[in-house]
Amino acid sequence: MSTNVSVEVNEMASVDGQRGKARGILDWVLVFGLCTLLIYAILAFGAVEEWSTFGLEAGGAALFLVWVGKQLVSGQVNLSKNPLYLPAVLFFGLVLAQIALRISAYSYVTQYEALQYVSFGIVLLIAVECVREEDARKKFILVMTLFGVLYALFAIAQDLTSNGRLFWTRTPRFGGSMYGSYVNRDHYAGLMEMLVPIPVVLSLGRLLKGAKRVLAGFGAILMASTIFLSGSRGGMIAFVLEMALLAALIFATKRGSRIMTMSYVAVCFFTAALVFYLSKGQVLGRFADMSPDMRLSITKDSIPIFLKRPLFGWGLGTFPTIYPQYRSFYTTRFVNAAHNDYAQLLVETGLLGFALMLWFLVRLYRRGLPPSRRWDVKWDRALSLAALIGCTGILLHSFVDFNLQIPANAAVFYVLCGLATSEPLAGSSRRRRTRIAETEEVL
């Protein structure tokens, strides 16, 4: 009888081991798949063209299928109680209502935007559910930091040897102030605002020692310098405010130390020095021309548009369609966005959509701030803080630009929101090894 029990235990242990191995493989597929999808969207000109947008949506669908496969292998559906899920789902319900009730001024565009929103929801889900263990977070930090440094080097090289083409081969159809793989330098700056806090936080904390810490600091300086070199005024201001917020959090929570303070000052000083050297002081010239432009006029024009349909709005994605009849100034340019994400959201989704956005942000900061209190010694909290700082930067920049209308930047934003609010499993790997050891001891 004891022999039969032992055989059954061995079989159960073998099955559990195979399932655990399969889950582990799928976990890494999801983490690296998420990073790959974000990098693809960025390099594919921000995923603004139909083929690149389709690639982002198809990649998101593939990740979702892998996640479903992981749940089937596990034999149960494991879904955390993330505070962002409810407002995100309700916002999607509002968009569906705009389509179903024919509220949208251009139903086809709203349906197109709804599909994009589904892909954003998927990357949010993957970030929350799959980038939770300490090892997974380390890998995400490594991949995205390495990409950020290489991408910044590429952007500088392309700018110094510019022939007016993206990747030296692609001529923008409508021109633009290109930088990196983006036609609009403001969108490049918006991306870097979200990525640069990761190496900055690593360079200030105690997670890295010696040369590794110096390398993180170098990566932060290089990435931050390109925000200024791109010439984006909104990006420059947003980055400065990010660094001010980081300094406030360091000293308000009493985590600051002499070495941390020196590291912070060094990052700021060498970033300024590199920018001055590469731009020969021309960056400050961008602030010499601060005369009002059409962005302020578009924002003002958004008010009467909103008042026409204040509750449900005109339909997600419809701003470029309805704006010409309300435009108060002459221009030969096509106004494809409000250059203010908040004004555009208010016009397209009304008070209901705007209220859900505010609820989403309140939950983001309520959950995101507490885990950052010991960010200097814990990988999971360091990433949470960096993600929250990155979200703050892009949200500030969104007052004067339309970064969140760019699919690649929106996807990165939702991933960072998920990382800032997810419940880390820092000790899960250790606990799993302990359980395996205890099982083997029993057998």
- Tens digit of pLDDT for each residue in 21-63? 777 788 899 999 999 999 999 999 999 999 999 999 999 999 9
Q: Is residue 442 scored above 60 in pLDDT?
A: no
Residue 331 lies in a domain: no
Cα-based angle 125, 130, 136 (whole degrees, multiple of 5): 140
Residue 440 has pLDDT above 60, yes or no: no
Contact 390, 193 (CB under 8 A): yes
What are 72's two structure tokens?
A: 């089937």
pLDDT confidence of residue 260? 85
Confidence check: pLDDT of 137 > 60: yes
pLDDT surpassing 90 at residue 349: yes
CB 300 within 8 A of CB 362: no
Is the pLDDT at 435 greater than 50, yes or no?
Answer: no
- When mean pLDDT is compared across 68-72, 324-328, 434-438, the lowest value belongs to 434-438
Residue type, 91: F
Q: Does the residue 311 lie in any domain? A: no
| Average pLDDT rounded to a whole number, residues 145-153 | 97
Q: Is the pLDDT of residue 10 over 80?
A: no
Which residue range forms the structural domain that includes residue 231? 2-78+131-291+369-442
Cβ of 225: how many Cβ atoms within 10 Å?
25
pLDDT at residue 93, rounded to an integer: 97
The more confident residue out of 115 and 335 is 115
Q: At what angle do helices 233-252 and 258-279 cross, to 10 degrees?
A: 170
The overall average pLDDT reported for the chain is 87
pLDDT higher than threshold 90 for residue 407: yes
Q: Which residue, chain included where needed, has tokens 């130390």?
A: 257
Q: Residue 289: its pLDDT value, please?
A: 60
Q: How far apart are CA 263 and CA 274, in angstroms?
A: 16
Which residues are bridge partners to 166 per DSSP?
A: 170
Q: Indicate whether 345 belongs to any domain.
A: no
Domain total in the chain: 1
The amino acid at 147: F
Q: Residue 329's pLDDT is what?
A: 85
Planar angle of CA 286, 287, 291, nearest 5 degrees: 105
Is the predicted pLDDT of residue 368 greater than 90, yes or no? no
Whether 347 is covered by a domain: the verdict is no
- Give the DSSP per-residue string, 326-339: G--S--SS---S-S
Tell me the pLDDT tens digit for each residue of 222-238. 999 999 999 999 999 99
Q: What is the pTM of this model?
A: 0.91
pLDDT digits 0-9 by tens, 85-116: 999 999 999 999 999 999 999 999 999 999 99
pLDDT at 129: 93
pLDDT of 60: 97
Tell me which of 369 and 255 has the higher pLDDT. Answer: 369
For residue 179, give the 3-state DSSP assignment: strand
In a domain, 300, yes or no: no
Please compute the mean of the pLDDT values over residues 165-173 and round it to a whole number.
88
Of 200-209, 235-244, 317-326, 398-407, least confident by mean pLDDT is 200-209
**What's residue 116's pLDDT?**
96
Residue 369: its pLDDT value, please? 82
Does some domain include residue 242? yes
pLDDT of amino acid 286: 65
Reported as a pLDDT band with limits 50, 70 and 90, residue 262 is confident
Residue 83 lies in a domain: no
pLDDT of residue 73: 86
- The whole-number pLDDT of residue 99 equals 96
The answer to the question of residue 395 being in a domain is: yes
Mean pLDDT calculated for residue range 203-214: 88
How much of the chain exceeds pLDDT 90, in percent? 65
